[in-house]
Structure 1
Amino acid sequence: MAEQDLDRSEAASPYKLQKARERGQVSKSSEIISATVLAVALVYIYARGWDSLASLMRFDQALLQMADQLRLDHAVFWHLAGHMGRHYLALTGPLFGALMLAAIAANLMQTGPLLAMEPLKPDWDRLNPVNGMKKILSVRTLFDAARACAKLVLLTMVVVYALRDLLRQQFFFLSALTPHDYLQTLLGDIAALGMKMALMLGLLAVVDLVYTGRQFAKRMRMSKRELKDEVKQREGDPRIRSRLRQLRNEMLKRSQSAQRTREADVLITNPTHVAVALRYVHGEMRSPQLLAKGAGVLAAQMRQIATRHHIPIVQNAPLARRLFRELALEQPVPPNLYAEVARIIVWVFAMRQARQQPAETQA
């Protein structure tokens, strides 16, 4: 059984994936978030970088022009500090807001809306130095280190080739530019270089997303034993479910068989808790046959049917209990009960014949 548990060859069930999601365990690539945040930052710099830089330079110029006119007292200092803080916040706030929204969007694209409190619970195993050393020396850590080195090499190659192209195209023209044009060119080159790096990070992020998804699916795999245990946990033990299904079928069969009380020759009762309907055809049956039986509400229903169809009702508590307990539906009466049942059947047939004779005489 232990080997069977270790053989996790089955894909994770939707139930296990849902439980893992409730604990905050989902497939997510941090490279997607990094690439998205970098791309948004570069787009913002390309679109609003020059305006922000020009606004900052104008503000600094105004401060320098007013430097000799300012009185360095407490009220002026805090007024100036508040004005500077609002100005810098107005310049950097949209950028930080865009980066935050980009990170949130990158997370939502991978995992969807997810609110799990399990990761916030204190886990003392994280403070265990042995577990920390295991994580440091694990295969996952080595893979992350190799991936970081590969990413560094690829990004370095992108930067080197991009700078080489920029030097070929713009090196001899930079000296002829004005400071205003120089800054605009510098911002454009930084944005272009950053976009090339973002494209490389995007390709790495796609590879990392595929790898992370496969690793998560592999970690969530289940053994056949686990699948069976999950089915038992969710739906109950198959033997119990089979027994419950059998009991439901018996109850349904009894309820349907109660309608056959109208075909019976006699109804033997407890007198109120149990009812048993018997039928006997002379010459065709070796002993009377049990057509229907019921207890409680079903027994009351059988008594009503017998009364409606003028079927004799005999109160014999011991016999009714034995027939109810020992006989199944459509089963003949066993030999050990012949004598008691025969007395009742003979009395019923005699009473029926007595009712028929006056009718024939009158006819």
Structure 2
Amino acid sequence: MADEDDGGERSEDPTQKRLDDALERGDVAKSQEVNTWFMIAGATLVLSTFAGSIGGIQTPLKNVIANSWMLRTDGPALLQLAQHLEYAVFAAIGVPLLMLVIAAIAGNMLQHRLVWSGESLKPKLSKISPMEGAKRVFGKQAVANFAKGLFKVIALGAVMTAVLWPERHRLESMLRSDPMSLFGVIVGLTVHLMGAVVALLAVVAIADYFFQYRQWYERQKMSLREMKEEFKQSEGDPHIKGRIRQLRQARMKKRMMAAVPKASVIITNPTHYSIALSYERGMQAPVCVAKGVDLIALKIREIAGKHSIPIVENVPLARALYATVEIDEEIPVEHYHAVAEIIGYVMGLKRGASARRT
């Protein structure tokens, strides 16, 4: 029964191996809104920076149309004309297109490192399962997408109205303007509008990325059974074992420091060793609840000072106890007498303090 429960709910945070495996499968936290924002921001930058060079493509095209009656249409001449137009188009839009490609790549690289995986191309029954399809249609992701789409429609409509409404009279007058003079005006209005859209979509992109990351992280969570299986598979790896040893030591240190306030006395070598002993009436022998050297010993003494726990200096006893007793173990028999004297001394101090208060 316990094993069945372990394999059920995924309530444990994923291990680093679990996250690495997900990355290798191509399962990453990714928001399409971030990609969209980079593309629109890149297009806005391109339009505001290279509008003149893009507009410059009209000159060779105008020349072709104006002098079309003079153009030779035989094979070599037509090929030469096509090459000329190709160079003109590439010179006008080559750098802007390159910037758009960089923006598209940056939108993905910002969210996760480059991943090459064919896992998503493999056929899976879950892709044609009606139950899985219903989950996709009515699940959290579908609700979030609907809310996001509704917000974008309303917000973008409000932004476009706020930007274009003050320009309505100017837009009306453009109907009577020279078409050749409209290019600069249209570019200016478009850049202004796209700038407002970029600012709005930045909020949407940030919110959507955190939502997608949370959804992805929840998918990577593990059950207790999965954690046990992963531990069994990775137990032979020295790096994993070293990491596990570090985690155990950290947990032991945390538990040990939490037990120091319960100690009856701290026996120290003032510069190196500290051993915290706990004793209550009825116990067979005092129990070591914490011990350490150097920085840990100093931390034990600090905690003891905050909780008014007596600190007794005894260099040989501190060294001997540190070498012979482990955490949560009773002290060895050979140290009963020396420790008993210290415990008796400490209890005498406590009785004297109690008598003075009364």
Q: What TM-score, normalized by structure 2, do the two folds share?
A: 0.59
Counterpart residue number, 2:161 = 160
CA contact under 8 A between 1:125 and 1:131: conserved in structure 2?
no
The 8 Å contact of residues 34 and 107 in structure 2, kept in 1 or not, is answered as yes
Identity of aligned residues (%): 24
Provide the C-alpha distance between the structure 2 equivalents of 1:19 and 1:172, rounded to a whole number of angstroms. Answer: 59
Alignment of 1:63-74 (within 5 A): 63-74=64-75
1:30 aligned residue: 32
> Over alpha carbons, which structure has the higher Rg?
1
Deviates more, 1:68-77 or 1:184-193: 68-77
Matched, 1:208 2:212: no
Counterpart secondary structure, 2:57: helix
**Alignment match, 2:6:** 4
Residues 50, 187 of structure 1: 8 Å contact kept = no
Counterpart secondary structure, 1:110 = coil
Write the distance in 2 (CA, Å) between the matches of 1:93 and 1:85. Answer: 11
Residue 59 (structure 1) aligns with: 60
Aligned length: 234
Task: Work out the CA distance in 2 between the residues paired with 1:124 and 1:7.
Answer: 23
Q: Does 1:76 align with 2:77?
A: yes
Q: d(CA) in 1 for partners of 2:225 and 2:129?
A: 33
Counterpart AA for 1:20: A
Q: Following TM superposition, by how much is the alpha carbon of 1:126 offset from its aligned partner in structure 2, in angstroms?
A: 6.9
Q: Could you say if the C-alpha distance between residues 165 and 126 of structure 1 is closer, same or farther in structure 2, counting changes exceeding 3 Å?
A: farther
Alignment of 1:264-303 (within 5 A): none
Matches within 5 A, 1:1-363: 1-53=3-55, 55-120=56-121, 122-125=122-125, 128=128, 130=130, 133-134=133-134, 137-139=137-139, 140-167=141-168, 170=170, 181-235=181-235
Q: In structure 2, do the counterparts of structure 1 residues 231 and 129 end up closer, same or farther at CA, with 3 Å as the change threshold?
A: closer
Distance 1:119 1:35 in 2: 25
Name the counterpart of 2:334.
none
Letter of the 1:157 partner, please give it.
A
| 1:82 Cα deviation after fit | 2.6
Are the aligned partners of 1:26 and 1:216 in contact in 2 as well (CA < 8 Å)? yes
**Equivalent-residue separation in structure 1 for 2:163 and 2:175 (angstroms):** 20
Preserved contact between residue 9 and residue 222 of structure 1 (Cα < 8 Å): yes
In structure 2, distance between residues paired with 1:188 and 1:29: 30
User: How far is 1:171 from its partner?
Assistant: 5.1
What's the CA shift for 1:86?
A: 2.7
Q: Which amino acid in structure 2 is aligned with residue 107 of structure 1?
A: N
* Structure 2 residue ranges without an equivalent (≥5): 242-358
Normalising by structure 1, report the TM-score: 0.58
